[in-house]
Amino acid sequence: MPKALYPGSFDPITYGHLDIIERAEKIFDDLIVGIVENPRKETLFSPAERKELALAALEEEGIGVSKVITFDGLLVNCAKSHDRESIVRGLRANSDFEYEFQMALTNRDLAPNIESVFLMTSGEYSFLSSSIVKEVKELGGDVSTFVPRVVEKKLAEKFSVPD
Ligand code: ADP
């Protein structure tokens, strides 16, 4: 089976991401989670914090991946440098599709040997995004069904709201 890279902002990692990781782990021999250092959107957490949270969340959930890395620059260059044949992405709704479609075709143009593979969200996480988690927590809401404990704690610290 090919080796894969699952890239994203992971700001912060949620149960939606973890579900994709867990399922991708069963399909690919070797999965690396790649945290984009400078995504186009502004992030709440630094690359180092996002990596630390991803590692802690994976541990809390008992999910083993081969590695969590941070990277900058072109995604296909990161995939090549780690010897990856596949890029894994999750799809939630129509709104994800348009962007993912464009990215996948662009990446295929840049690196024809790297295949993008899409895993459909699980129904229970189809509405879940890092942005909604941040919004709810900043307003003092309970996000325990959206993110592991360690992530909720860190969000509470960041927003100075009760844990
Ligand atoms: P990006 O900014 O690169 O989209 P994200 O951290 O938002 O990074 O998402 C990384 C990947 O995980 C994307 O492919 C995204 O569609 C997917 N993803 C995020 N949340 C979910 C979810 N709840 N269910 C399935 N896939 C998801």
Ligand 1 geometric centre to CA of 122 (Å): 12
0.85 surpassed by pTM: yes
Residue 89 backbone dihedrals phi, psi, to 5 degrees: -135, 155
Q: What is the mean pLDDT of residues 45-69?
A: 96
How many CB atoms within 10 Å of residue 112?
A: 9
Q: What is the mean pLDDT of residues 148-162?
A: 96
The pair of three-digit structure tokens given for residue 127, joined into one six-digit string = 């509405």
Q: Which residues are catalytic?
A: 17, 41, 92, 130
Q: Could you tell me the pLDDT band of residue 94, with boundaries at 50, 70 and 90? A: confident
The pair of three-digit structure tokens given for residue 161, joined into one six-digit string = 């709201």
Would the CB of 31 count as within 6 Å of ligand 1? no
Q: How many whole angstroms separate alpha carbon 93 and alpha carbon 111?
A: 26
Domains with residue ranges and CATH for the chain: 3-122 (3.40.50.620)
Q: How many whole angstroms separate alpha carbon 92 and alpha carbon 88?
A: 13
Q: What residue owns the CA closest to ligand 1's atom 27?
A: 90
pLDDT over 90 (residue 57): yes
Ligand 1 geometric centre to CA of 112 (Å): 23
